[in-house]
Amino acid sequence: MNPRSVGFRRCFITALIAALVPCVLSWKSDMPGGIKFAYDEGIYSFTTDMCPGGVFFKKPLFIPLVCTHGYFFRRSNGCKMENSDVIAGSDYACEKINVNTSQIVQAFIPITNPDLPLDHTISFYDDPNTLRNFRRFSYIKGLEEQYSGNSAGAAGVVVANARVTPPISIGELCYEGRGQSSGSSYVASLDLTDSTNIFSPGCKPGSRPFPWKKSNRYFFTKGYSSPSLFPKQVHAVLKDSLTKYEEQEGSDLSKFEIWDGLAYCLQTPVDQSEKDTIKLGGIYPRIETLKPLCHSQKGTAVGRTRSKRFALRRPYMGCLARCVRAMTGEWAVSSGGGAGGDTAPPPPPPPSTP
């Protein structure tokens, strides 16, 4: 073998290791869900232990990069389900960076619980636009009878990280889980009346099957990142801790502000009974109270011009863009899934070398 070739290979490997060493830090296995996103030449982040109901921006933002740990509704209009999708990933896997397009976002709403961000979860809401009475049932906790006093009446449902399961009754719904694709989530409309009979084995005669064929399917972002990629992130932190009354009342919106007033940190009050069972309490402040912030999408998003060029204007952001491109395992990120949703879209071509 040519000595020069060996020397070049050694040099190349040494340089590669030196470049990747800052990126080998690992995430904690028991960390809560969360999102890190690019906006206005910076990286912002929140976790679902701080904001269990997600975040609601006062104005829609152009957000070109999102890295996720868990499952989230991404809503372009915070008060409407229309044009919303589900984004999901583990260990803050990042979606593909494209400096020519940006996603309009007004709200990120977690659809799994803070302590189990990647678990098979079935979530219900009484209104698709306001997500009224939003409640998230971990499948495992449901089988363990950890929920009580929770109604199963609903106008809609979202299933995160669907898995094959035996039939169970959730009120009038006969749920038999499917696992057609690893990590997929499904959103469907329902018309169920109230019932507190949840997570009971088997399905009763006359119960309604889960509408898999009429659901919209969303795929899971496969990839990984490293804590060292986000050294300058701006964390979501509430100025003062909220009392139980303030969580449920939400009358003083200033108490929910984060990122210097850029957004509200939404809460999901949970009541623990004497029998240590869980009663879920919806999202607060209620989205109904935030309706004055929801405008038509045209001409209302902020940060468009600067965010589109974020990867080119600052060395740190350009480095982050290159790192994310190098470390993301798959670029087949789904932000859709038609009715039926049984067929995954073909993967896009690999990204070009920056």
Using a 10 angstrom Cβ sphere, with 0-12 exposed, 13-18 middle and 19 or more buried, the burial of residue 16 is exposed
Residue 330 has pLDDT above 70, yes or no: no
CA–centroid distance for 311 within its chain: 23
pLDDT reported for residue 5: 56
Residue 325, Ramachandran bin (φ over 0: left; ψ between -120 and 50: alpha; else beta) = alpha
Residue 241 — pLDDT band, cuts 50, 70, 90? confident
344, pLDDT greater than 90: no
The region, left, alpha or beta by phi > 0 then psi within -120 to 50, assigned to residue 313 is: alpha
Residues 174 and 131 sit within 8 Å (Cβ to Cβ)? no
For range 182-188, the mean pLDDT: 92
- pLDDT value of residue 305: 37
Give the CA-trace dihedral at 179, 185, 189, 195, to 10 degrees: 70
Q: How confident is the model at residue 79 (pLDDT cuts 50, 70, 90)?
A: very high
Q: Of 16-25, 91-100, 139-148, 316-325, which has the strongest mean pLDDT?
A: 139-148
What residue type is assigned to position 5 of the chain? S
CB distance 162 to 88 below 8 Å: no
Pairing of strands 42-47, 234-235: parallel
User: Is residue 275 over pLDDT 80?
Assistant: no
**Spatial CA neighbour of 31 closest among 262, 227, 253:** 227
Lowest average pLDDT, out of 19-28, 148-157, 288-297, goes to: 19-28
Provide mean pLDDT across the span 31-54. Answer: 94
The answer to whether the peptide bond before residue 285 is cis (omega within 30 degrees of 0) is yes
- From residue 271, give the alpha-carbon distance in Å to each of 34, 148, 256, 279, 281: 23, 10, 20, 5, 7
Tokens of 211: 């509408």
Indicate the pLDDT class of residue 270, thresholds 50, 70 and 90.
confident
Judged against a pLDDT cut of 80, whether residue 225 lies above it is answered with yes
Percent of the chain's residues with pLDDT above 90: 42
Structural Rg of the chain based on CA atoms = 21
CB-based contact 242:255 (threshold 8 Å): yes
Neighbouring residues of 47: CB distance < 8 A, sequence distance ≥ 6: 31, 32, 33, 34, 114, 236
Taking the C-alpha atoms of residue 338 and residue 342, their distance in angstroms, rounded to an integer, is 9
Question: 3-class DSSP state for residue 336?
Answer: coil
Contact of 67 with 34, CB cutoff 8 Å: no
Reply yes or no on whether the pLDDT at 98 is more than 90: no
User: Which pLDDT tens digit goes with each residue over 250-259?
Assistant: 568 898 999 9
Residues 6+ apart with CB under 8 A from 57: 78, 105, 106, 107, 262, 263
Is residue 310 a contact partner of residue 99, using CB atoms and an 8 Å limit?
yes
Q: Which residue has the higher pLDDT, 145 or 316?
A: 145
Q: How many CA atoms lie within 13 A of 186 on its CB side?
A: 27
Asked if residues 18 and 99 have their Cβ atoms less than 8 Å apart, the reply is: no
Question: How far is residue 182 CA from its own chain's centroid?
Answer: 16
- Average pLDDT on 233-249 reads 74
Cα–Cα–Cα angle for 213, 217, 218, rounded to 5 degrees: 175
- Give the least confident one: 13-17, 80-84, 271-275, 280-284: 13-17
Cα separation of 293 and 71, whole Å? 24
Taking all residues of the chain, what is their mean pLDDT, rounded to a whole number?
76
Domain ranges of the chain: 30-327
- DSSP letter string, 62-115: EE--EEEEEEEEEESSTT--TT-EEEEEEEEEEPPP-TT--EEEEEEEESSBTT
